[in-house]
Chains A and B, each alone.
Chain A
Amino acid sequence: MIRALIAALFGLLLAAAPAFAETTLIRLGYPGVGADNRPFAYGNVVAVAHAGHFIEDEFADDPSVKIEWTFFRGAGPAVNEALAAGQLDFAAGLGDLPAIVGRANGLKTKWLLTDKVHDTIYLGVRPNSGIARIEDLQGRKLSQFKGTNLQIAADRVLAAHGLTERNARFINLDFANAVAALVAGDIDGSFGGVELLALRRRGIVDIAYTTKGDDPTFGRNASIYVTEAFEQAHPELVARVVRAFVKAARFADDETNRDAVFALWAKSGIPVEAFREDFAGETLAHRLTPLIDDYVVARYRDQARRSKDYGLVRKDVDIDGWIDRTYLDRALAELQLEHHWPRYDAAGIKVTDGEVEPTKAAAK
């Protein structure tokens, strides 16, 4: 009886084995979570690709490919750890600083396409804290999630106002704990993104500063990377993943989709109104672009240099050798989107208009 059972089990295993061997798992990691740890992103192309199932749809006709998304509450540093441990194939939406830190420490990845640029950062402060501008931060207690792209973006803002991290007390907290600490009055303020607008709507914080309308090179950037190992083993899969992300970017940029995009992002638990406010007076295409143009490259070079100056990395990071535009160019050609997005020069001045931009008029 038992022998028969074991034989049957083996039979099953053998039958299942070939099907197993042919299945390829594509593991995507995202540096963040939504409100209350929801496994959803917001504010970028990757969030649209994920919540809109663009990657899954790309492989819908191919049952041998499985897609797995992981959202890391530990943000960029946690994604780097997972990459180092060989648990991810793609880092989707990884911020500029953690990506640079990973590369400086020998992570083998290729930079495939951009996820977002010009991401506005805000300084949220406790109401009645007396902080009305960056200069008021002198001697105050703030939280900061070290090692994320927010850190270096905040450092730049401080530097532009004659301050450094040493002028204020920066406490290392992740985003969720920072909100709790703000509510409890343990800290005076925190730099952050659109989630601070959601908190302001609830009267928890005031916004004392925003990079909106300030120097166009402020703000955060994020991109999409593949591990060299996966790229060498499955170049065709990489091409299809990149194409899916470009399709998602195409959808996300279209002003006629503005509400649909915000609705996808709102799955993260951050209300649509916050995104509306965040993007007020700004086109979607201003932030959501897959292009690795001169502007983005200049930002990464600049961030790499600053990271070294601030002691966040110890080596010079080569940016040019990191970029692999072959997949992006192929996807743009296949989808006939070569002229779809505007291109910016290193200083952030627009060089060519994108075909996407007139869609704004259509929406209004």
Chain B
Amino acid sequence: MPVLLLVLWVVSAREGWLTEQILPEPRDVLQTARDYVASGELLADTAISLRRVSEGFAIGAAIGLVIGAAQGLSQGARAIVELPFFVISQVPVLGWLPLLILLVGIDEELKVIVIAWSAFVPVALNTAQGMRDVPRTLREVGQVLTFDPWSMLSRIIVPAALPSIFTGLREGLAHSWQTLVAVELFASSEGLGYLMSWGRQLFQLDIVVMALVVVGAIGLALNWTLGRVERRLRRWQVQTA
């Protein structure tokens, strides 16, 4: 599939299906990428974007895990949190942007908060769901073995909810990465999203395409890494069990 797309791109550029201003030739994109790598700009912008995502995602996922777990484990907590959580999660994070800008300005905080927010929602949802759905029989096993609450959580509930939690984390990470680009398009002076808007405003679509490829590749790499971590955890879980 990727090969097919690449072929289509090359042919389309050759045949002039789309003007070069709209879809630049792969060769031009490659040349631009070389220049940007050589000058260190691409690396610097990528590093900034990655830092924003890791900060935002770490905060959002941590809060999401806590809130999700609270909802999943305690009826009382769910009753308190459910409604506001539902309302918040119904509005896409970029919808909150105007309000957030008034509250925290347009600086780094804004980016981190928006990214954290976009990670938080799926993580919390899936964690709560996963913990609530732990089969009764498994819980009963714990009760029979007279597990204390901590053992119950670490030996039974978390392992059983793990696939669901990881689904949430993966979704959260994907959201973080997408949101990053959106938030960097607006009011920034560095990062991959900024590189895209800069390329667009200076009408150098090769820069835009280059940034797109980098964004896609990193997204893929992040997702793959998280998949590996999940598999490792599950194997370890099976072994200890």
Enumerate chain A interface residues (CB-CB to B < 8 A).
77, 80-81, 84-85, 98, 101-102, 104-107, 145-148, 169-173, 177, 180-181, 184-187, 312-314
Q: Do B19 and A84 touch across chains, with their CB atoms under 8 A apart?
A: yes
Determine whether B101 belongs to the interface, using a CB cutoff of 8 Å to chain A. yes
User: Do A85 and B22 contact each other (CB < 8 Å), given the known contacts A101-B203, A181-B106?
Assistant: yes
Q: Do A105 and B102 touch across chains, with their CB atoms under 8 A apart?
A: no
Smallest beta-carbon distance B34→chain A, Å: 13
CB within 8 Å of A: which B177-198 residues: 186-189, 194, 197-198
17 A–B contact pairs at CB < 8 A? A77-B203, A80-B203, A101-B203, A102-B203, A105-B21, A105-B203, A106-B20, A146-B198, A146-B201, A146-B202, A172-B187, A177-B187, A180-B101, A184-B105, A185-B105, A186-B101, A186-B107
Closest 10 CB pairs of A and B: A147-B201, A84-B21, A77-B201, A186-B105, A146-B201, A186-B106, A105-B203, A101-B203, A147-B202, A80-B203
CB within 8 Å of A: which B201-230 residues: 201-204
Give 4 new A-B contacts, CB below 8 A, not counting A146-B201, A312-B202.
A172-B187, A173-B186, A184-B101, A186-B106
Smallest beta-carbon distance A52→chain B, Å: 31
- Chain B residue numbers with a CB within 8 Å of A105 are 20-21, 203-204
CB within 8 Å of A: which B146-198 residues: 186-189, 194, 197-198
- Chain B residue numbers with a CB within 8 Å of A181 are 106, 187
Instruction: Report the bound CA distance from A361 to B122 in whole Å.
Output: 71
Contact with A along B94-119 (1 / 0, CB 8 A): 00000001100111000000000000
A-B contact count (CB 8 A): 68
* Chain B count of residues within 8 A CB distance of the other chain: 21
Determine whether B14 belongs to the interface, using a CB cutoff of 8 Å to chain A. no
- Chain B residue numbers with a CB within 8 Å of A98 are 203
- Chain B residue numbers with a CB within 8 Å of A186 are 101, 105-107
- Chain B residue numbers with a CB within 8 Å of A184 are 101-102, 105
Instruction: Report the bound CA distance from A221 to B105 in whole Å.
Output: 33
Q: Do B198 and A172 touch across chains, with their CB atoms under 8 A apart?
A: yes
Residue of A nearest to B185 (CB): A172
Smallest beta-carbon distance B72→chain A, Å: 39
Instruction: Report the bound CA distance from A107 to B201 in whole Å.
Output: 14
Instruction: Report the bound CA distance from A187 to B203 in whole Å.
Output: 26
